[in-house]
Structure 1
Amino acid sequence: MNRSYKTFTFIALLFISIGFSSCFDIFEEYHFNKDGSGSAKFTVDVSQMMTLMESFSASMDSTGEMTNSVDEMFSDNKAEKSLQQLPGISDIKTLNDKAAGIVGFSYKFANLEALNNALIATDGNLDMSKMMEMGEEGATGESSTENTFSKKGNKWTRVFELNRPKNEEEEDEFQGMAEAMFADHYYTIQYYFEQNVKKVKKNDNAQIGADGKSVEIKTSMQDLIKGQANFSSLIKVK
Structure 2
Amino acid sequence: MRKIIQLALIVLCSIMFSSCFETVEEINLNSDGSGRMILTLNVSQSKAKVASLMKLKTVNGYKVPSQQEIVAELNKTAAALRNMPGISNVKTTNDFSNYIFTVSFDFKEVSNINTASTKILQQYKIPAYNIARYQYNKAAKTFIKTYQLNPETKKQYMDLKQEDKEVFKNALYTSVYRFDAPVKAQTNKEAKLSGSKKAVMFRTAITNIVNYGTSVNNTIILQ
Q: Would the TM-score normalized by the shorter structure come out above 0.5?
A: yes
Indicate the structure (1 or 2) with the bigger Cα radius of gyration. Answer: 1
Does structure 2 conserve the Cα–Cα contact (< 8 Å) formed by 1:146 and 1:162?
Answer: no
> Counterparts in 2 of 1:29-178, with a 5 A limit?
29-58=26-55, 68-76=65-73, 77-123=75-121, 144-152=129-137, 153-165=140-152, 171=158, 178=165
Q: Structure 2: how far apart are the matches of 1:143 and 1:164?
A: 13
Q: How many positions carry a matched residue from both structures? A: 211
Q: Structure 1: how far apart are the matches of 2:156 and 2:119?
A: 33
C-alpha deviation, 1:169, in angstroms: 11
Task: Name the SS for the 1:162 alignment partner.
Answer: coil
Does structure 2 conserve the Cα–Cα contact (< 8 Å) formed by 1:143 and 1:162?
Answer: no
Matched with 2:194 is 209
Matched with 1:198 is 184
C-alpha deviation, 1:233, in angstroms: 0.7
Matched with 2:15 is 10
Task: Name the SS for the 2:79 alignment partner.
Answer: helix
C-alpha deviation, 1:50, in angstroms: 2.9
The aligned amino acid for 2:110 is L
Task: Name the SS for the 1:226 alignment partner.
Answer: helix
Does structure 2 conserve the Cα–Cα contact (< 8 Å) formed by 1:54 and 1:67?
Answer: no
Q: Tell me the TM-score normalized by structure 1.
A: 0.74
Q: Structure 1: how far apart are the matches of 2:14 and 2:87?
A: 25
Q: Tell me the TM-score normalized by structure 2.
A: 0.79
The aligned amino acid for 1:34 is S
Does structure 2 conserve the Cα–Cα contact (< 8 Å) formed by 1:144 and 1:164?
Answer: no
String of CA shifts for 1:101-136, please: whole Å, max 9, x gaps. Answer: 111200000112222212223339xx9xx8xxxxxx
C-alpha deviation, 1:54, in angstroms: 2.7
Q: Structure 2: how far apart are the matches of 1:184 and 1:170?
A: 15
Identical counterparts, % of pairs: 24
Does structure 2 conserve the Cα–Cα contact (< 8 Å) formed by 1:4 and 1:79?
Answer: no
String of CA shifts for 1:38-87, please: whole Å, max 9, x gaps. Answer: 000001001233321332344659xxx96643542244312101101111
Does structure 2 conserve the Cα–Cα contact (< 8 Å) formed by 1:25 and 1:187?
Answer: yes
Seen in structure 2, the aligned counterparts of structure 1 residues 144 and 164 have a Cα distance that, compared at 3 Å, is farther
Seen in structure 2, the aligned counterparts of structure 1 residues 230 and 156 have a Cα distance that, compared at 3 Å, is same
Does structure 2 conserve the Cα–Cα contact (< 8 Å) formed by 1:74 and 1:97?
Answer: no
- The RMSD of aligned alpha carbons is 3.4
